[in-house]
Amino acid sequence: MSARGVEDARARGKTVLVLHGPNLNLLGRREPDVYGPLTLDQINERLHALAAEIGVELEIFQSNVEGELVDRIQEAAGVTHAIVINPAAYTHTSIAIRDAIVAVGLPVIEVHLSNIHRREKFRRRSLISDVAVGQITGFGADSYLLGLRAAVRVIANSRSRSLKTRRPLKARRPA
Ligand code: CA2
């Protein structure tokens, strides 16, 4: 096994939560030039296949409702090891999702299908990116797969502290 394989083996059996924000349930039906041809179910199938290959447990949740995404982030505390989130339009508006991420203190990878930095000005600002471990943007459905791989790497490299005793991240000041 490669050094990276040995490293990633530490993430085996750990749980990653994938969250999809509003309107992503419409994928594949409209705007394929911007968001790609795959439906959300097809993206989820690819995520499940990769998770099985790597040996991590996967939970996937989509909602068009901000509060439901906040609830799901809160419920992840103590049971999930990392979160991969495409907050969709809430990326640019949601202090509630940002606050929930800070509150649970779990490592978060922010992903986007399109490159938000090449689009309209209002999409270039993310309220999530400075409380996330990192952002993967512009690789279509592969952004999610790269996000899952990044989450596994973060889990593997984190010290084996109990999830329950993990202290929340310190909120950083937005620019
Ligand atoms: O590029 C991304 O992944 C986005 O998070 C997608 C959001 C957008 O608001 C963000 O700025 C960037 C939009 C998701 C809506 O998806 C649709 C899919 C098909 C048809 C219409 C919308």
Angle between helices 95-104 and 66-76 (to 10 degrees): 10
pLDDT of residue 77: 97
- 90 Cβ closer than 6 Å to some ligand 1 atom: no
Is there a contact between 12 and 34 (Cβ–Cβ < 8 Å)?
Answer: no
Q: Which two tokens stand for residue 87?
A: 């907050």
Angle 22-28-31 (CA atoms, 0-180°, nearest 5)? 75
Residue 32 alpha carbon, nearest atom of ligand 1:
19
Which tens digits make up the pLDDT trace of 27-69?
998 888 999 999 999 999 999 999 999 999 999 999 999 999 9
Q: Measuring from atom 3 of ligand 1, which residue has the nearest CA? A: 112
CB 98 within 8 A of CB 78: no
Compute CA distances 173 → 16, 107, 170, whole Å.
27, 18, 10
pTM: 0.90
Tell me which residues are annotated as active site: 35, 112
Cβ–ligand 1 distance for 62 under 6 Å, the answer: no
- C-alpha–C-alpha distance, residues 127 and 131, integer Å: 8
Percent of the chain whose predicted confidence (pLDDT) is above 90: 80
Residue 140 makes CB contacts below 8 A (sequence gap 6+) with 35, 36, 38, 113
**Residue 10 dihedral angles phi and psi, to the nearest 5°:** -65, -20
- DSSP H/E element including 59: strand 57-62
Q: What is the pLDDT of residues 138-161, one digit of tens each?
A: 999 999 999 999 999 999 999 654
Pocket test for ligand 1, best of 27, 29, 35 (most atoms within 8 A of CB): 35
